[in-house]
Structure 1
Amino acid sequence: MREMDQIGAKTPQEPCAGDVHAFLESLTGPSRGTVSWLVDSALTVSVGEARALGLRLKDNTPPHDEDIATLQWSEGGYVLNALAGQDIWVNGHKIVSASLKHGDMIEFGELGPISRYRICTQRFPIRHTVEDILSDAYAYARSSRRPFAQRMSGALRESGRRLVSQTTMFFRITVVAAIALIAGLLFLLYQNDRRLADSLQQEARKIEAVASMLSQTREDVLTPEDLVALRDAFQKQLISTEQRLGTLEQRAGASTRVITASTQSVAFIQGAYGLRHVESGKLLRHVLGPNGEKLQTPFGQPWIEPDATGEPAEFQFTGTGFLLEGTPLMATNRHVALPWTTGDKAQALKNAGLEAEMLQLLAYLPGQTDPIEATLDRFSETADLALLSVDPSRIEGQGLRLADDLPRSGDEVFLLGYPTGLKALIAQAGPEFLKTLEKDESVNFWTIAARLSAQNQVQPLASRGIVAQTSPGAVVYDAETTSGGSGGPALNRKGEVVAINAAILPEFGGSNIGVPVLHLKTLLNETASQ
């Protein structure tokens, strides 16, 4: 604190003793923080050019132009008297004369400071208490005649300054430590909020990725509702798409020789892949309930986590592939061998911090009761093609020959494959086979295929069509097929592969697109050169 040079003034460090009765502490103006001791019974108060409060003994000397009031000690307190023509306010009320009480706020004229009056009954503290500082701020805000916003900002600014400069060192250190602690806690909360937000965002991305994967899985997996629909179709003698595709000879008069010679080399592909959490390196597994049941998220998706204890989450798919003459390789589409690379699935997985991993890939060939395990050998970066490796001992003497030339517009083609996957195979197997499935509650995606194969019910569906257009990038034809037929061979009348079925174009009158066989030859040559 600063001290004004006044008659009879004492420093704040000196005890309040003798003729010291009270003191005034300026709270505003250039002299704010200055203490003026009231040491005599009669004093004259003035406000100088610097708006500083001045005190002198009241005597018979002529009054000064700066004089504004007098202070007279009476009955344990001072009486404040405003001089003629001067404005004085006590606690916000304009007065002519007022007996001052401890804690009164005095405003000395329009230009003078606002001061706090205190009766001196004990040693004046070297440092103010927090209570005193806050009390002064409240009294100032309450009694000042300034606009409300200015009063509040002034009170806050001055109380902050005094808390910093007029409190004890221990208090300041405590406040600084508390502020640092609060700042540290706020930073930790911010970090936790960020981590929580990132975790929620990552979880949302994971749910999005899983939903994207499940969209294809639902097309390939049989549900109880699918079995009921198939049973109703049999009972009502309805001819399904699968059955229509299986009556090639009756509908189109296709070459029986080509179909018979090629059927044994066309495989029904069945697979499942899982998702691995990149950061932890763990596969996503099902979260199990108290009774071992698989739980779901509030969004109706399987609840899967890297640290869960259930089985790895499977995303199942089906497709078609065919053996190649003279090599233990099977050709199919890239989107069959790597189903997680189609559409926006790859980006969804990347955003979610996941990577796909093949869990099981099986190939069922007509006439063989046991499946063949297949592994990815190579895929094309430019065409929708992939090659799978299979056990050579299981495919002796089988395989389709590749055509040397592209087909021409108007040429006849025969398409073999497994459109609609298991549904088509069950439809071909007949109603009796369906009844056995409905009775057995343990059947699933894998056991249905195994049962069909054991009963020699795995046979590709065939359809005939005409080539509409040929280009180096695609062969367009109208042979009927649908989802699940991807990867099947399109054959010419010689039984040679001219294209690999890849996409359906329902908006173009049921036309389909095949990858020209020349791209498959290029991929084979790349494999042989390594």
Structure 2
Amino acid sequence: MDQDPTTEPEDVPQAINDDVRAFLENLTGPSRGRIGWLSLDQARVCIGADRLLRIDPDVAATDSAEARARLSWSGETYEIEALSDADIWVNGRKIGTAHLMHGDMIEFGEDGPMSRFRLCDHTFPTSWPVEEILSDAVAYARTSRRPFGSRLSNALFDSVRRILLETTIVFRVTVILVLVVLTTFVAWQYRSDILLQQSIQEEALRLEVIASTLAETRQEALTASELATLREQLDLQLNTNAERLSVLERRLGASARVISDSTASVAFLQGAYGLRQVESGKLLRHVLGADGLPLRTPLGKPVIDPDGTGNPIEFQFTGTGFLLKDGGQLVTNRHVALPWTNGDRMLAFEQGGLAPEMLKLLVFLPGLPVPVEAALLISSDTADLALLSVPASATMDRGLTLAQGEPEIGDEVIVIGFSTGLRALLAQAGRDFLTSLQETGETNFWTIAARLSEENRIAPLASRGIIAQITKKAVVYDAETTVGGSGAPALDSNGHVVAVNATILPEFGGANIGVPVREVHRLLAETVAN
């Protein structure tokens, strides 16, 4: 035959296909993937210098030195004979002659390729079953005499190549679809894991902020043991406060007059805000147990959920404010009227998908038996100031006047406020009042303030200091105050407000920073303009 029988199946002429008896499927070497057709009674297997396997008619030829084996048709199959100086292995066994069986693995010499012998019924399969491809790979790996790593990599590579190129179209399409589905699933799972991780991080951040804020809130409440400690310290604290006020009154009659005239206009602010989940629009509430009490984690933190059945979680706070004369308005700090703007809380709440919301804001005034509710009118974007609206009944015969000019360095100021919040009020209330609270167990944040108001025990503390520095945005003075005094008025010797107490600087010997009164005038002007 004058045509090369070593070719791809689709290139085989019809004449050859009609007479084909068997073929050699090359698994290794440069001929990998090619088919050597066997249709002659006698044929030679030749390996050239290029290591390509070729099947030639068994006749004299100039390249006879390339011949490795002779194939002879016996009527049912081919017999293989190793030619002189050629080493042939069949199924891993070196042979001289052998009767080939369907599926035998033939290795042509030390450096020759490995081929699988297959009998056929005058047709060549257009595709191979996957199990047949894998069987070939296993057979090659078992019979090849090459190093283990080499034959294993060859087996894997050839299996993948044949699965991609020699299986049915339906199988390949199915594999592609499965891979697409698996890839989509993996991508979806990966994104779900990322979203879950983000959700866990946001939840952890939210819980951390809530826990820390609730911890600060608990500082305002009192336990029974803390009440007992207060009782023990009461006499000393009360005497100290009384002596300070007595000395102040004796040293400067004007200061006593300012304190007396201004006290009724200085308010104790008590409030609480909650958190609303933006997505659901629900407030975060305590989760109740079977006993009806709020559940807590093993670490002591409250269990909260938008679908909880308990009360909304409360972030409680206190502060100071003062009424303006004839205005029906109350001045305080922005961080008191909007306590969630203090520090990084707002950012943490937003990252957790939460929006703060004021639940209750009460104003206690000296001489009034019950508090009044306040509402935010406006807050400043440039200074730590806010204006609250209060009922007209609370402002009758009360209110402070704002100074029109600026104070000077060295001027005296009197700061009147509710430093240390409820604790200072309890210290001033006396032993009998504390005993009554202990007996009734009324140590709740809200009930303590209500009891103090009912018994006319809401009274601010006053301290005197000297102005040390004045800037466009701050007035610095050394009048003593502490937490709870935010929003207190700083008054001059005429009883006019020259600053609103805002910040404590303990590292500078207890110095305080007040917002200049010009900022209050500016905020009032904005209110009128709106």
TM-score, structure 2 as length reference? 0.87
Contact 1:333–1:486 (8 Å) recurs in 2: yes
Q: Greater shift after overlay, 159-168 or 56-65?
A: 56-65
C-alpha distance in structure 1 between counterparts of 2:492 and 2:233, whole Å:
37
Contact 2:234–2:431 (8 Å) recurs in 1: no
Contact 1:245–1:462 (8 Å) recurs in 2: no
Partner of 1:388: 388
Q: Per the alignment, do residues 238 and 139 of structure 1 end up closer, same or farther by CA in structure 2, a change over 3 Å counting?
A: farther
State whether structure 2 residue 244 is matched by structure 1 residue 248: yes
Q: Per the alignment, do residues 388 and 237 of structure 1 end up closer, same or farther by CA in structure 2, a change over 3 Å counting?
A: closer
Partner of 1:166: 166
Partner of 1:263: 263
Partner of 1:231: 228
Deviation at 1:368, TM superposition (A): 0.5
C-alpha distance in structure 2 between counterparts of 1:481 and 1:505, whole Å:
10
| 1:222 partner amino acid | A
Q: Greater shift after overlay, 328-337 or 25-34?
A: 25-34
Partner of 1:366: 366
Q: Greater shift after overlay, 383-392 or 180-189?
A: 180-189
State whether structure 2 residue 400 is matched by structure 1 residue 400: yes
Q: Per the alignment, do residues 349 and 87 of structure 1 end up closer, same or farther by CA in structure 2, a change over 3 Å counting?
A: same
State whether structure 2 residue 244 is matched by structure 1 residue 222: no
| 1:291 partner amino acid | D
Higher helix share: 2
| 2:228 partner amino acid | R
Q: Per the alignment, do residues 4 and 329 of structure 1 end up closer, same or farther by CA in structure 2, a change over 3 Å counting?
A: closer
Q: Per the alignment, do residues 237 and 426 of structure 1 end up closer, same or farther by CA in structure 2, a change over 3 Å counting?
A: closer
CA RMSD, 1 decimal = 3.3
Deviation at 1:234, TM superposition (A): 2.2
Deviation at 1:389, TM superposition (A): 0.5
Deviation at 1:134, TM superposition (A): 0.7
- CA offsets 1:151-178 (integer angstroms, 9 cap, x no match): 4443333212211332233323332332
- CA offsets 1:77-110 (integer angstroms, 9 cap, x no match): 7554432333434455665555655544323235
Contact 1:9–1:39 (8 Å) recurs in 2: no
C-alpha distance in structure 1 between counterparts of 2:12 and 2:469, whole Å:
110
Q: Per the alignment, do residues 237 and 388 of structure 1 end up closer, same or farther by CA in structure 2, a change over 3 Å counting?
A: closer
Partner of 1:138: 138
| 2:527 partner amino acid | T
Partner of 2:483: 483
State whether structure 2 residue 472 is matched by structure 1 residue 472: yes
Q: Per the alignment, do residues 146 and 250 of structure 1 end up closer, same or farther by CA in structure 2, a change over 3 Å counting?
A: farther
Partner of 2:410: 410
Q: Per the alignment, do residues 237 and 249 of structure 1 end up closer, same or farther by CA in structure 2, a change over 3 Å counting?
A: closer
Q: Secondary structure at the match of 2:200?
A: helix
Deviation at 1:125, TM superposition (A): 4.5
C-alpha distance in structure 1 between counterparts of 2:239 and 2:84, whole Å:
117
Q: Matches of residues 47-126 of structure 1 in structure 2 within 5 Å?
A: 47-48=47-48, 51-56=51-56, 58=58, 64-71=64-71, 80-91=80-91, 100=100, 102-109=102-109, 112-118=112-118, 125-126=125-126
Partner of 1:351: 351
Contact 2:234–2:427 (8 Å) recurs in 1: no
Contact 1:287–1:310 (8 Å) recurs in 2: yes
Q: Per the alignment, do residues 463 and 70 of structure 1 end up closer, same or farther by CA in structure 2, a change over 3 Å counting?
A: same
Deviation at 1:4, TM superposition (A): 9.8
Q: Secondary structure at the match of 2:107?
A: strand
Partner of 1:523: 523
- CA offsets 1:499-527 (integer angstroms, 9 cap, x no match): 11111111111111111222212222222
| 2:335 partner amino acid | H
Q: Secondary structure at the match of 1:141?
A: helix
Partner of 2:4: none
Q: Secondary structure at the match of 1:520?
A: helix
Deviation at 1:489, TM superposition (A): 1.1
C-alpha distance in structure 2 between counterparts of 1:88 and 1:124, whole Å:
26
Contact 2:80–2:100 (8 Å) recurs in 1: yes
Deviation at 1:193, TM superposition (A): 1.7
Q: Secondary structure at the match of 1:239?
A: helix
Deviation at 1:341, TM superposition (A): 0.8
Unpaired segments ≥5 residues, structure 2: 1-6
- CA offsets 1:114-168 (integer angstroms, 9 cap, x no match): 2113456998644321111011122333444555555444333321221133223
Contact 2:47–2:53 (8 Å) recurs in 1: yes
C-alpha distance in structure 1 between counterparts of 2:19 and 2:336, whole Å:
96
State whether structure 2 residue 493 is matched by structure 1 residue 493: yes
Q: Secondary structure at the match of 1:462?
A: strand
Deviation at 1:413, TM superposition (A): 2.0
Q: Per the alignment, do residues 444 and 129 of structure 1 end up closer, same or farther by CA in structure 2, a change over 3 Å counting?
A: same
C-alpha distance in structure 2 between counterparts of 1:394 and 1:423, whole Å:
24
C-alpha distance in structure 1 between counterparts of 2:242 and 2:232, whole Å:
19
- CA offsets 1:203-247 (integer angstroms, 9 cap, x no match): 12322432453354233x2141xx42341242366634x874565
C-alpha distance in structure 1 between counterparts of 2:293 and 2:56, whole Å:
93
Contact 1:15–1:123 (8 Å) recurs in 2: no
Contact 1:9–1:38 (8 Å) recurs in 2: no
C-alpha distance in structure 2 between counterparts of 1:174 and 1:66, whole Å:
44
C-alpha distance in structure 1 between counterparts of 2:472 and 2:130, whole Å:
87
Partner of 2:429: 429
C-alpha distance in structure 2 between counterparts of 1:192 and 1:357, whole Å:
31
C-alpha distance in structure 1 between counterparts of 2:10 and 2:415, whole Å:
108
Q: Greater shift after overlay, 72-81 or 35-44?
A: 72-81
The number of aligned residues is 520
Contact 1:246–1:463 (8 Å) recurs in 2: no
- CA offsets 1:261-299 (integer angstroms, 9 cap, x no match): 111111100011112223333322223334333234566
Contact 2:383–2:515 (8 Å) recurs in 1: yes
TM-score, structure 1 as length reference? 0.87
C-alpha distance in structure 2 between counterparts of 1:440 and 1:488, whole Å:
32
C-alpha distance in structure 2 between counterparts of 1:408 and 1:348, whole Å:
41
Deviation at 1:8, TM superposition (A): 12
Partner of 1:2: 8
C-alpha distance in structure 2 between counterparts of 1:435 and 1:287, whole Å:
33
